[in-house]
Chain A
Amino acid sequence: MGKQHYQITVNGEAKDILAEPRELLIHTLREQLNITGPHVGCETSHCGACTVDIDGRSIKACTVFTAQVAGKEITTVEGLGEPGKLHILQEMFKEHHGLQCGYCTPGMITRAHRLLQEIPNPTEEEVRFGIAGNLCRCTGYQNIVKSILAAAAVMNASQEAAE
């Protein structure tokens, strides 16, 4: 089977992708669309560096074919903030030293984003369990957990202020 057309929406933009059915989503994003925030770390769905959000679910883009996600909405770390303005999670990762080499960071933040949608006010234990699909070799997680808890606090405070 040769290349096929697949329609996907990435960070709010409709894309027409021409790819072999065996093309992995991570390669479509990185090679075809130049969306290089999601990274390849382990290729066996253990490290989470390739995490993206698909229709409200955190997914490891190294273990899904682009063919499978045709018709779906995909959000990557590039789609979280606004140009020139960091998302609260991005801001808190910077504030609390939640990253070092930066390689796991896009996947980690994308996962944390979904986690806070599901559990807006998590405990430390819930954060640790909720990011256990994302490996980091640099930080020992302590400041990542701190960053996510801080982001939750800021998001909840602004939510309350709005109400």
Chain B
Amino acid sequence: MTDQTPISREDRVEKLKGVGSQRKRVEDARFTQGKGNYVDDIKMPGMLFGDFVRSPYAHARVVSINTEAALKVPGVLAVLTAADLAPLGLHWMPTLAGDKQMVLADGKVLYQGQEVAFVVATDRYAAADGIEAVEVEYSELPVVVDPFKALLPDAPVLREDLEGKMVGAHGPRKHHNHIFTWEQGDKDATEAVLAGADVVAEEMVYYHRTHPCPLEPCGCVASMDKVNGKLTLYGTFQAPHAIRTVVSLISGIEEHNIRVISPDIGGGFGNKVGAYPGYVCSVVASIVTGKPVKWVEDRMDNLMTTAFARDYWMKGKIAATKEGKITGLWCHVTADHGGFDACADPTKFPAGFFNICTGSYDIPVAYLAVDGVYTNKAPGGVAYRCSFRVTEAAYFIERMVEILAIELGMDAAELRRINFIKADQFPYHSALGWEYDSGDYHTAWDKALAAVDYEGLRKEQAERVEAFKRGETRKLLGIGLTHFTEIVGAGPVKNCDILGLGMFDSCEIRIHPTGSAIARLGTISQGQGHATTFAQILASEIGLPADSITVEEGDTDTAPYGLGTYGSRSTPVAGAATAMAGRKIRAKAQMIAAYLLEVHDNDLEWDVDRFVVKGAPERFKTMKEIAFASYNQAIPGLEPGLEAVSYYDPPNMTYPFGAYICVMEIDVDTGVHEIRQFYALDDCGTRINPMIIEGQVHGGLTEALAIAMGQEIAYDEMGNCKTGTLMDFFVPTAWETPHYTTDHTTTPSPHHPIGAKGVGESPNVGGVPAFSNAVHDAFRAFGLRQSHMPHDHWRIWKIANGLGLHG
């Protein structure tokens, strides 16, 4: 069987739909017809439904729990409390951050909405009736929602379980509500530079608490088969293998007896990385009842209890010469982690990669300290559509640069330009310890400024200010600039692990006899289109059409071990594993082709989808032919079949970057804004599927818009969450969302097998400062330095009011 179709090389490349192709997504036929399979779509015979009794108080003792009436509610089968879990040692569970968290309230509650009891019933209606019938007596305790007040000497003790324990998972604790101090850089040298600098700009920059809020909330179905001793756990898991390991560690069930499956996931954005009490309670309830148990949170549960993001108070000092050359950066962060430390950062990085906070700039010396603090708020601190704490870092430096520009009386675009790391400085070693792999910031910046006619915009802005002063308009114009550098693709096993699990990722490929293939990965798509793009990477590597390659993820019984999808790590790590496994396939294919063509391996060269004899282009074997031969020919010295697996431990992170410009009109009287233009240039290295990249950028920018302009998790002084529904938690509709213009430069990563860097989170990292800087910039002429997000109507109004613009 010889494939002799005489088609041009160009057509053969086209047919593969490999890297660079605008391939349509293979997932979409299913999703558009309503045939997705999300966790709440899963049904099993006899399945029960569990749900929580939650605390109405932010800080209280649980005096008593009476379940008698609840157990009489028709359909209610069981009510679990901490007392039931304690004998199994499951009333607490480890967090990914080295802390532990109550599964069900053990004597007290630490935040509003905390899980107090788990009602198991025949369906969700009966469970809801049962919840209402559980009687809990609380005794209220003083509430601390402010992290600075939490560190006062007489602040109430939140974590009584840690009393007297003055060393935590990340070193010494200096107060009963203190979690850790994390220091990076050279403190003395930085302070010396600050002391002698021409100019030092100092400011507190707050990045408020918000929430990833995927449209599908978190949930699971646990099914313990007591006959064969196997536990199957379906759930909204961004890291299914890690969940399997965690479940094994806390339940004592051996890992081979646990099968974790992530079905389709309706968005994650960091919310679905961690382990939640619902998972543990469902497993226990399934063991207790012998039936499958489903738990799916509702939107209020989601917003109030599972994995918030940000809540960083960032005090900064930036030093520069009179000419604007930055000479040093100092930063202290007070990080509000809520009642338990449940961040999902790599173990050695309790503040994630916040030390990327020198940004895109060549800053000779820097110092950073982060203090983690407990408060009476929900736990979390996850990376909401960004790599670990990278959006906080980008926001910090992009605000500090703007504030320095004000201090120096300079144009903020020019200040950035004279401080960018230059193209010939890569690989660049930052003052806070990273090795930036590649970049060309000046080129990107100039392209962006030219695209929006930056000089023209500044001229228009100046004219607008004059017109405003003359009383001819009540609208101001803001030009929001951002040049961000991300750090993604965690990460090298030598310094990146979660719970001791190295942050490699994996791909296993099997080529079928007729020239199609299946690739299995340790990651899991939540909308990123892995089934489409990973097949493209592989198509380019092995010369089989992407349409002939199935990509499968999310089932721990079949997929190779991997750390999952978050922190934009899928392309940098699992994408690399895919390319490397593909190369193993190709190496073996080359030996098979050499045997078939009766030449030496070295006499062959790879050409799109085939090996060709050098100098004899008419003599070749296509990958399809080779695949068949691998199954039907006895080739001396080679095992039959064509399979490969790769576990990829990246040598470094990747450093995507971009230049974003937002042009915003602001109504000074009402605080209402309108985004007139948004230009986003991204450089994510090699571009695998431009269509998907563009979609990722649109989505990330819209999440950034939400965060910058209104979205927050807010508490009152009693610790009541004020933003528990989508009425108050801002998620923009199509009406509030602007049209975006996307653009790119391409600076491949030198260490990634195909030069790709990852893009899904860049628009959030760069977008937030771009929107926020536009608001600040609109008021720069009137003396504004810093005003905290979110910039909703009343906070923008407050800026104008504070600057005396309301007459």
Contact = CB atoms under 8 A, between A and B. Distances in A.
A and B touch in the complex (CB under 8 A): yes
Contacts of B379: none
A44 B725 contact: yes
Contacts of B41: 30, 36
Nearest to B731: A135
Nearest to B302: A42
Contacts of B265: 101
Contacts of B35: 37
A102 B36 contact: yes
B698 A140 contact: yes
A102 B731 contact: no
A133 B217 CA distance: 19
A144 B700 CA distance: 15
Interface string B672-696: 0000000000000000000110111
Contacts of B123: 31
Contact of A137 (B213, B695, B701): B213
B699 A104 contact: no
Interface string A105-128: 110010000000000000000011
Contacts of B24: 94-95, 97
Contacts of A47: 215, 726, 731
A81 B34 CA distance: 11
B734 A128 contact: yes
Contacts of A143: 694-695, 698
B234 to A, nearest CB: 14
Contacts of B38: 36, 39, 103
Contact of A94 (B29, B36, B214, B298): B29
B125 interface: yes
A86 B35 CA distance: 12
Given A42-B726, A100-B528, A105 B31 contact: yes
A42 B730 CA distance: 12
Given A101-B266, A128-B735, A141-B702, A106 B215 contact: no
Contacts of A142: 698, 737, 739-740
A30 B32 contact: no
A103 B702 contact: no
Which of the listed residues A34, A47, A77, A138 has the most CB atoms from chain B within 10 Å of its own CB?
A138
B577 to A, nearest CB: 23
Given A37-B34, A95-B24, A129 B695 contact: no
A46 B699 CA distance: 19
A35 interface: yes
A58 interface: no
A131 interface: yes
A132 B216 contact: no
Contacts of A133: 733
A22 interface: yes
A134 to B, nearest CB: 8
A73 interface: no
A136 interface: yes
Contacts of B215: 39, 41, 47, 49, 101, 103-104, 135-137
A41 B28 contact: no
Given A37-B35, A41-B299, A94-B24, A141 B737 contact: yes
Contacts of B526: 101
Contact of A97 (B34, B216, B269, B691): B691
Interface string B20-50: 0000110111111111101011010000000
B777 interface: no
Given A102-B27, A137-B267, A39 B216 contact: yes
A86 B29 CA distance: 8
A91 to B, nearest CB: 8
A104 B34 CA distance: 10
B698 A93 contact: no
B527 interface: yes
Interface in B254-292: 264-267, 269
A67 B691 CA distance: 44
A139 B695 contact: yes
A100 B38 CA distance: 14
Given A39-B38, A137-B699, A143-B698, A99 B737 contact: no
Nearest to A44: B725
A97 B692 CA distance: 7
B32 A86 contact: yes
A139 B32 contact: no
Nearest to B40: A40
A20 B125 contact: yes
Contacts of A22: 125
A127 B734 CA distance: 9
A97 B735 contact: no
Contacts of B731: 47, 135, 137
Which of the listed residues B35, B215, B700, B703 has the most CB atoms from chain A within 10 Å of its own CB?
B215
Interface in B72-119: none
B34 A38 contact: yes
Contact of A140 (B214, B269, B702, B735): B702
B541 to A, nearest CB: 24
B634 interface: no
Given A131-B734, A132-B733, A103 B266 contact: yes
A81 B216 contact: no
Given A94-B24, A95-B24, A145-B734, A137 B528 contact: no
Contacts of A86: 29, 32-33
A24 B217 CA distance: 19
A49 B734 CA distance: 14
B299 A44 contact: yes
Nearest to A95: B24
A116 to B, nearest CB: 15
A127 B735 CA distance: 9
A97 B693 CA distance: 11
A67 to B, nearest CB: 14
B706 to A, nearest CB: 9
Contacts of A39: 38, 40, 215-216, 266
A44 B728 CA distance: 11
Given A30-B40, A44-B299, A103-B38, A141 B734 contact: yes
Which of the listed residues A38, A81, A86, A100 has the most CB atoms from chain B within 10 Å of its own CB?
A100
A58 to B, nearest CB: 14
B727 interface: yes
A66 interface: no
Given A44-B725, A78-B34, A138 B734 contact: no
27 contacts: A22-B125, A36-B40, A41-B216, A41-B217, A42-B299, A42-B726, A44-B299, A90-B33, A97-B695, A100-B527, A100-B528, A100-B696, A101-B267, A102-B30, A102-B36, A103-B214, A103-B215, A105-B31, A128-B734, A133-B733, A136-B734, A137-B214, A140-B695, A141-B698, A141-B734, A142-B739, A143-B695
| 3 tightest Cβ-Cβ pairs between the two chains A and B | A37-B34, A101-B527, A102-B31
Given A94-B29, A139-B699, 14 more contacts: A22-B125, A39-B40, A41-B216, A90-B32, A100-B529, A101-B215, A102-B264, A102-B266, A129-B734, A133-B733, A137-B267, A140-B702, A141-B733, A141-B734
